């Protein structure tokens, strides 16, 4: 409850109590006076407690987060404990791309966007909606993905994984990308949509870039539509579909799968294929930030060791630091993508994103026409 609301309620309560006590005042003035003083003292104490975060120039940030709620809360609670800056989280449940669409339309105006691949954040930078924020000089931080003008800041790596129900044929022979087109799994595949999800954008880019000829990548995507693959609003939705048994095979971020396995004990397996895409997750300070220095303080906190440990322990994301080990599903000590992922060109994703999205949105119509 805001401080102004507390004061209004106190005033109304005072009027009610005063009117109620008036008939008794002439009979027992001392008792009524003591009671009124106690009520006034209790009300002022409660108001002071409710207003304490607003007192002494306390600072506030409004954060739009597309990370999972557990990681978001753990990060922001640790930041508040360290700095005293109060963080309010916007209750948004859509995908990262959907969040950015609303930001570009200025229908949402938080101080920061937390999480999501930096290709998503780059859309905000292109439109001049991001403010520069230079991270602290820290030799333990991996900085090779920093934005040249510091208009967004990388904070973790996420790897795209193939997920599946614990079916015997998939446990003995881990699925690869081509398995998504296996006729046995017709209408049983779930994938995040490139139109609404950062994971979907990275999945689309992975299929286009891993093929020697980009048209073969588009043929793969077209094949998924013909096979009846279901495209979800959010990457997390694919995990839910497989956990419920409504789908057998799908695509999601490895960290989201592992977190759900550990937290919810769901029957879902994951495999990071040899040729996979990855995201560099980021954070942006937005142009309408009311307290820009407080917002930049949060960005610098998010690049530090404490936040990196939270990312790895709570969210199972791979931190961009040398001094914090990656989560257990990553079978190597370094968070850096291995050489066999060199095919994935993130700069090309930024450059080609608009043309790819136009072609992707037209693909279902083409499939429908050829199937008539």
In the predicted structure, residue 333 carries a pLDDT above the cut 90: no
Q: What is the pLDDT of residue 57?
A: 58
**CATH entry, 60-155+279-326, from 3.40.50.10490, 2.60.15.10, 3.40.190.10, 3.30.2350.10:** 3.40.190.10
At the topology level, CATH places domain 158-276+346-370 in D-Maltodextrin-Binding Protein; domain 2 (3.40.190)
> In whole angstroms, what is the distance from residue 87 CA to residue 63 CA?
7
Backbone angles phi, psi at 122, to 5 degrees: -65, -30
pLDDT tier for residue 22 given thresholds of 50, 70 and 90:
low
How high is the pLDDT of residue 33?
Answer: 53
To the nearest whole percent, how much of the chain has pLDDT over 90? Answer: 64
Q: Would you place residue 27 in the very low, low, confident or very high pLDDT band (cuts 50, 70, 90)?
A: low
Instruction: Report pLDDT for 241.
Output: 96
Stronger pLDDT, 106 or 34, i.e. the higher one: 106
What confidence tens digit (pLDDT) does each residue in 80-129 have?
999 999 999 987 767 788 899 999 999 999 999 999 989 889 999 999 99
What is the band of 130 on the pLDDT scale with cuts at 50, 70, 90? very high
Q: What is the pLDDT of residues 188-228, one digit of tens each?
A: 999 999 998 889 999 999 999 998 899 999 999 999 999 99
The arithmetic mean of pLDDT across residues 316-335, rounded, is: 88
Instruction: Kindly report the average pLDDT of the chain as a whole number.
Output: 86
Q: What is the pLDDT of residue 213?
A: 94
Weakest-pLDDT range from 11-25, 79-93, 189-203, 254-268: 11-25
């Amino acid at each position: 409850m805001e401080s102004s609301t507390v004061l209004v309620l106190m005033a109304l309560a005072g009027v009610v109590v005063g009117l109620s006590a008036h008939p008794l005042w002439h009979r027992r003035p001392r008792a009524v006076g003591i009671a009124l003083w106690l009520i006034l003292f209790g009300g002022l104490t409660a108001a002071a407690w409710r207003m304490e975060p607003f007192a002494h120039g306390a600072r506030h940030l409004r954060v739009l987060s597309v990370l999972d709620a557990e990681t978001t809360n753990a990060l922001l609670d640790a930041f508040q404990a360290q700095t005293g800056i109060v963080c309010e989280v916007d209750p948004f449940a859509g995908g990262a791309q959907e969040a950015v669409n609303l930001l570009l339309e200025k229908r949402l105006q938080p101080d920061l966007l937390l999480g999501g691949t930096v290709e998503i954040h780059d859309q905000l930078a292109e439109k001049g909606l991001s403010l520069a924020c230079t991270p602290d000089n820290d030799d333990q931080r991996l900085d090779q993905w920093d934005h040249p003008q510091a208009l967004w800041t990388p904070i973790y790596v996420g790897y795209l994984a193939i997920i599946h129900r614990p079916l015997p044929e998939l446990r003995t022979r881990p699925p690869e990308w081509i398995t998504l087109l296996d006729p046995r799994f017709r209408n049983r595949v779930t994938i995040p949509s490139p139109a609404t999800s950062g994971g979907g954008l990275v999945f689309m880019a992975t299929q286009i870039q891993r093929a020697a000829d980009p048209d073969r990548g588009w043929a793969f995507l077209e094949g998924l539509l013909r096979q009846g693959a279901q495209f979800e609003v959010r990457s997390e939705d694919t995990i839910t579909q497989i956990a419920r048994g409504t789908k057998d095979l799908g695509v999601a971020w490895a960290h989201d799968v592992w977190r759900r396995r550990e937290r919810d004990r769901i029957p879902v397996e994951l495999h990071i294929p040899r040729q996979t895409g990855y995201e560099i997750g980021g954070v942006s300070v937005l142009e309408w930030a009311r307290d820009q220095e407080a917002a930049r303080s949060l960005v610098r906190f998010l690049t530090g060791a404490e936040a990196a440990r939270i990312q790895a322990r709570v969210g199972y994301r791979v931190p961009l630091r040398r001094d914090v080990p990656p989560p257990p599903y990553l079978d190597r000590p370094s968070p850096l993508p291995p050489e066999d992922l060199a095919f994935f060109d993130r700069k090309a994703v930024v450059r080609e994103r608009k043309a790819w999205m136009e072609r992707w949105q037209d693909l279902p119509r083409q499939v429908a026409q050829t199937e008539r």
